[in-house]
Amino acid sequence: MMLRFFYTILLFLLSPILLYSLYKKKDGKPPFHLRWKEHFGFSPPLKSKERPIWIHAVSVGEAIAAAPIINALKKQNPAQPILVTTTTSTGAEQIEKLGNLVEHRYMPIDFCFAVRRFLKTTRPENMLIMETELWPNTLHTVAKFGIPISVLNARLSNKSFLGYKKIQPLFNLLSKHLTHICCQYQDDAERFIALGVNNEKVHVTGSVKFDIDITQQIRKSGIDLRIQLGEERPIWIAASTHKGEDEQILAAHASLINNTPNALLILVPRHPERFNSAFELCQNFNFRTIKRTSKQIVTENTQVYLGDTMGEMLTLIGASDICFMGGSLLGDKVGGHNILEPVALGKPSLTGPSYFNFQEITQQLINNNTVTISHNATELTDSLISIFQNEQYRNFLRKNALSFMKKNTGAVMKTLQQINKI
């Protein structure tokens, strides 16, 4: 009790700084507008009168990890309402892609009064936390309401383990409220147990981020688009690009065309409000550009194909030979996007040096010779030329990607089994 009291006082003192960091304007970061009130527990009532499963995914990475679990839960029981909370607006943007499968609210700050207000409005039947996002007052209050709490896709690095060891009483305060901890790897499970968590609560289920469902329909639509764009020509895609990044990508494409004149770039800006400005930028670079929405026929003279639609990223990636994942050439502004989607499609994949939103997975892929880093436009061109000109190397990268995904899938089903036990 005393520990939580002093923690709450400290949180109160630090909250202005934390809130400033959360609400500070940043390129590519959606605004909160009037929804900031939800951080203090003022959440609008849910549409369904049934008690929802509550999934907390703090930001982008956790939101992406939650998606396959949400899809599996809905497939198991379509009528089950699911509430997803995020702390950040970028996480909320990711959850919006799930459409009507879920309802989204912002997570209340870790004050008991805010969490209580939120729980009285939303009435969840259980709480599923993505990736070890543990807050003392939230766990205490949720448990006091009689709501089971599980941690999914949990990681506990050796550094975090040693950190918790130093504050063992605080960790004990957190862990006593947990019903299940579903860990990504055996090492994570052993560290939780070493911290005193009952081994019957700890399970190894794998990482759900690798369970990307690519339907036959999506694969076919990618093949059909490839036929329209040109089966024989080299095609690469720059996916989820941002302002300030397109210029570097187009410069790389200009250099590529000097080496490979029939190369085609599929350019897909991250935000739809940038579709028109991206098209103008392509024209400023003197590229012969066609918008996807224009329905114009792509000829061998077309140099850039602008993906100005929403919800078709996998189709567009499927039509390409190589994928560069955007949001990774802008220093610390964005931190990359989901590189696993092109990997799941067996595409040789490139990223810029800034991928902190997906640090661990991207590093695994780099170590596995599946993803290559390009620090600038020159390196990006060199990588593209190297992959396009060497079919054996291209096939090697493709096989690595598919093998890596196959080896790491299956976590969603194991996680679902643990959820069902609740």
What residues act catalytically? 62
Residue linked to tokens 């991250």: 270
Calculated CA dihedral for residues 412, 414, 417, 419, nearest 10 degrees:
-60
- Please answer whether residues 314 and 340 qualify as being in contact, where contact means their C-beta atoms are separated by less than 8 angstroms: no
In sequence order, the β-bridge partners of residue 276 are: none
Q: What order of strands is seen across the sheet that includes strand 53-56? A: 103-106, 82-86, 53-56, 126-130, 149-154, 180-183, 202-204
Residue type, position 395, single letter: N
Distance, CA of 330 to CA of 328 (rounded, Å): 6
Distance, CA of 184 to CA of 18 (rounded, Å): 29
Structure token pair of residue 95? 């959850």
Smallest CA-to-CA distance from 137 within 119, 121, 113 is with 113
Residue type, position 68, single letter: P
- Please answer whether residues 307 and 294 qualify as being in contact, where contact means their C-beta atoms are separated by less than 8 angstroms: no
DSSP class of residue 327 equals S
Sort residue 400 into left (φ over 0), alpha (ψ -120 to 50) or beta.
Answer: alpha
- Please answer whether residues 98 and 67 qualify as being in contact, where contact means their C-beta atoms are separated by less than 8 angstroms: yes
Distance, CA of 89 to CA of 93 (rounded, Å): 6
Distance, CA of 399 to CA of 391 (rounded, Å): 12
